[in-house]
């Protein structure tokens, strides 16, 4: 086993920094996406490493298209408390690996059974079901390898690892997927629906914000402000997802549209209607913005991400 302070691919981590800080939100976003992509490229095992088919499938699942909402939130929260960029790139890559593993498993025939994701064939369609299960399993492990090599103190590494592990556990993301699967044809009230979403997508979005901030070892007050931001934007993200599933087409979404209604799944749209769902998303966006007072660093990326999440088209 390789225990040196290096990435699993065997070469030292590139020092991807972004100086000077880009001025506009769009330039900031492009810089973060570029840093995330380079770090993912570097952190995932090479596609010619044995077993090549597995590594090729892991890279197929992770690299390329993707909104990278969690890496963006991680960087934005980190910059709001003056965290250093090299650590944020590594943490953002771990978050994206974890998110992609959940997509690969959720798309499996025994789960949501979908064949389109990010505008391409899902992993079990492009490869096969066994490979897709193993891709997800390996990406979860790779996320923890990556965090165990983040350029922060050991104490901070453990905080990051614990935060992520709890967020994706049976009381977080995986538990939310379990509830979601059993909600088909079930009568949920709005509180139960919110609880499910806070676990299924909210927990990892929440962790993305917190982990960015943890890189700077910031104050509890700042973490509390970012918690409020994360809770609001996490729920807003899911409501917009429900709205898009009901209103956008498959080509725009890059994944199958109209699935919730077809599967008789309760959603914000089915329970509140389109108009009230849109109002609720807007209100949550305002709550998120209001949480961003008196943070020590740059907050315009966190503000920009509220607009991006609320007004996104896919």
Which residue ranges make up the site for its own copies (CB under 8 A)? 1-3, 8, 45, 49-51, 53-55, 58, 101, 105, 108, 110-111, 128-131, 133-134, 136-138, 140-142, 144-145, 148-149, 153-155, 157-159, 161-163, 165-172, 174-175, 177-179, 181-182, 203, 206-207, 210
- Taking the least distance from each CB to its own copies, the nearer of 149 and 201 is 149
CB of 147 to its own copies, least distance (A): 8
Among residues 18 and 149, whose Cβ is nearest to its own copies?
Answer: 149
Q: How far is the CB of 111 from its own copies (least distance, A)?
A: 5
Minimum distance, C-beta of residue 73 to its own copies, in the bound complex (Å) = 15
Using the minimum distance from each CB to its own copies, give the nearer residue, 200 or 278: 200
Nearer to its own copies, 112 or 253 (CB): 112
Give whichever of 29 and 105 is closer to its own copies, judged by the CB atom: 105
Nearest distance in Å: CB 188, its own copies: 13
Minimum CB separation from its own copies for residue 90, in Å?
13
From CA 211, how far away is CA 163, in angstroms rounded? Answer: 7
Q: Which is nearer to its own copies, 141 or 251 (CB)?
A: 141
Q: How far is the CB of 154 from its own copies (least distance, A)?
A: 4
């Amino acid at each position: 086993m390789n225990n040196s302070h290096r990435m699993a691919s065997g070469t030292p981590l590139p020092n991807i920094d972004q100086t000077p800080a880009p001025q506009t939100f769009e330039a900031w976003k492009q810089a973060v996406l570029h840093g995330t992509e380079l770090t993912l490229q570097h952190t995932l095992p090479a596609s010619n490493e044995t077993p090549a088919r597995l590594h090729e499938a892991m890279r197929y699942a992770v690299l390329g298209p993707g909104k990278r909402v969690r890496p963006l939130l991680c960087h934005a929260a980190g910059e709001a408390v003056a965290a250093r960029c090299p650590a944020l790139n590594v943490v953002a890559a771990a978050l994206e690996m974890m998110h992609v593993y959940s997509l690969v498993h959720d798309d499996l025939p025994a789960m949501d059974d979908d064949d389109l994701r990010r505008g391409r064939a899902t992993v079990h369609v492009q490869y096969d079901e066994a490979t897709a299960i193993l891709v997800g399993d390996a990406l979860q492990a790779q996320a923890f390898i990556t965090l165990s090599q983040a350029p922060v103190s050991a104490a901070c590494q453990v905080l990051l690892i614990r935060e992520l592990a709890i967020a994706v556990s049976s009381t977080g993301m995986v538990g939310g997927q379990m509830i979601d699967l059993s909600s088909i044809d079930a009568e949920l009230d709005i509180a139960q629906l919110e609880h499910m979403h806070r676990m299924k997508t909210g927990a990892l979005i929440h962790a993305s914000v917190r982990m960015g901030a943890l890189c700077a070892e910031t104050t509890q007050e700042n973490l509390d402000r970012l918690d409020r931001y994360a809770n609001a934007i996490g729920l807003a993200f899911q409501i917009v997802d429900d709205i898009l599933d009901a209103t956008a087409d498959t080509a725009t979404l890059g994944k199958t549209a109209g699935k919730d209604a077809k599967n008789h799944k309760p959603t914000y749209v089915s329970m509140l209607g389109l108009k009230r769902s849109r109002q609720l998303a807007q209100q949550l966006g305002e709550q998120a913005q209001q949480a961003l007072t008196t943070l020590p660093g740059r907050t315009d990326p966190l503000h920009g991400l509220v607009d991006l999440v609320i007004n996104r088209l896919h």
